[in-house]
Structure 1
Amino acid sequence: MVENNHSTDESGEFKRSLSHFDDRITSDGSSAWPVEPGRYRLVVSKACPWASRMLVVRRLLGLEDALSVGVTDPIQDEKSWRFTLDPGDIDPVLGIHYIAEAYHKREPDYDGGISVPAIVDIPSGELVTNDYLQMTLDLSTQWKRYHRKGAPDLYPEDLRPEMDAVIDRIFRQFNNGVYRAGFATSQVKYDRAYTDVFECLDWLEERLTGQRFLMGDTITEADIRLFATLVRFDPVYHGHFKCNRNKITEMPALWGYTRDLYQTPGFTDTVDFDHIKRHYYVVHSDINPTGIVPDGPDLSVFATAHGRERLGGRPFGDGTPPSAR
């Protein structure tokens, strides 16, 4: 989550900061950080949509043994993301209490935002990257040697030009749009963000009415990026971020699509509604000063029949679903 890595400008508009640490882990050794199984640790919060995308991609590609994961508490304190879910409040691999320690090991004078997902070099304890826009793409393209047998191609070369355009629109209007609405401090900026969110949802509803996934018959990177925001929309963004024209459950194609993905192996086990709801409603005290976490909505509906099989398609293409965990 990069909420503590943003600002609201004088006009009242939410501004998301660029990733300060944008190094890449590459297969050909062209970067300072070569791909090496077991060398790096991925740090996530299950509350965070950007981090959840990494968890889905890692599961679908079968990289669990190559890239370990540390999970932070969904509730941050003044030092940001902390490892209070682990014995002794210490990540068992990195030996630190806060992911901020890896940031400062890399750059002692760093005073910017502390965000997840983040990848840490285990031997040195230094942060490698917090570039949430690039990380999933690199798991698909740079870590191929360590993909499981039957791993799907989530970023096919022939689809990349169109997919990149779809991803860009979803990011600007929807992934980031809900934050622009939720953190806006002026009516004008909120109205603009609200309009963007629902223009994008209407476009997606139309696109997904006649095809099972965003790029056609198989799951791709674009679907994973969209899913992470969709699955949080009714429980959080609809009320908490004032994106309340309608719920996803009221949009037939998008609601069926959301359940289709949610029930797909590799997606379901990365979603933690408890972490999601507690993070947003407790941490955002400027939006929800009481810290009360709503009891609803009824989350059992995510497991109901979606009917998207009628559109055909093969979710994993020529690949296979990941094994149960």
Structure 2
Amino acid sequence: MSNRVVNILVPIVSVIVGLIVGAIVMVASGYSPTEGYIALWNGIFGDSYTIGESIRQITPYILSGLAVAFAFRTGLFNIGVEGQLLAGWTAAAYVGYAVEGLPSFIHLPLALLAAAAAGAFWAFIVGFLKARLSVHEVITSIMMNYIALHVTNALIKVWSDGGDKTEKIQESASLRSPFLESITDYSRLHWGIIVALLMVAVMWFILDKTTRGYELKAVGFNSQAAEYSGMNVKKNIILAMTISGVFAGLAGAMEALGTFEYASTKGGFTGIGFDGIAVALLGANTPLGVVFGATLFGSLKFGANNMPNEAGIPVELVEIVIALIIFFVASGYVIRLLFQKFGKKKEGK
């Protein structure tokens, strides 16, 4: 069996196995898996509104997945995507409402750049500590998540005179479009999906088509060999983490300029940054793989909201079923091994 056939079959079989196990859990709990999965399908593809909302949900997952995947490909574990996302969200919202009198073709890119810069700065701190002081990025990025949560909450309170959210961003900074709203029955779908897909191309270009990308991957693969060959390891570590933060900051901009159009204080994390780890793993840390991972993760997350309403399945059970599907997709390497063993047996006959 060729590798190309195996690569196609593994994710398909993984999803099917996950659905079967999820169905068994629903039956064991006294619920109909048929009704449950029909409700899940309707929650994703039921009408133009749910399709629009599913794509909207997928958009920040693509960017958070890229942030994690880029760091992984360069030998780093950026678990601070959540904090970088919050920094980007807050920066984009501030520029979106506080800067006045600009046309949309200037104001919107400016807000996106502010989000990218905020995320990059938050990640730069982690990369600098890693490169200069050898502080492990997992520890610093986790702590930076909490700092970002409380710093952004404090800033929002100051900007809103003690309130819990900023003013709504100006129309000139919004990613929303009357056209997209009209074709999706007034869902919150916005042009951020185009930004996300452009960033997929940017990550591919940087890593696979540039000398700098080769250096970043070389440092991640073997920093000692890279240093021996004349590469600046410290500079590349900082740069890799900073670029990762750009993707994370833009994920926050999708929420600030598209989904909500403001920034609000939060009692906890959004979860999008942490979910980006799962998205990156599902996508095998490749740009195109991240798109598929985010599509699966985001659509399941949004579509699952319909299962309690339409099929009467408790939210807790829905979470278990969705987690099982994602688990088996993430464990696709086991299925890959089975295919490879099966192929070798056939060749031996």
Fold in common (TM above 0.5): no
Q: Which has the larger radius of gyration?
A: 2
Given the two structures, how large is their TM-score scaled by the length of structure 2? 0.26
Structure number having the greater strand percentage: 1
Given the two structures, how large is their TM-score scaled by the length of structure 1? 0.28
Structure with more contact order per residue of length (Cα contacts < 8 Å, sep ≥ 6): 2
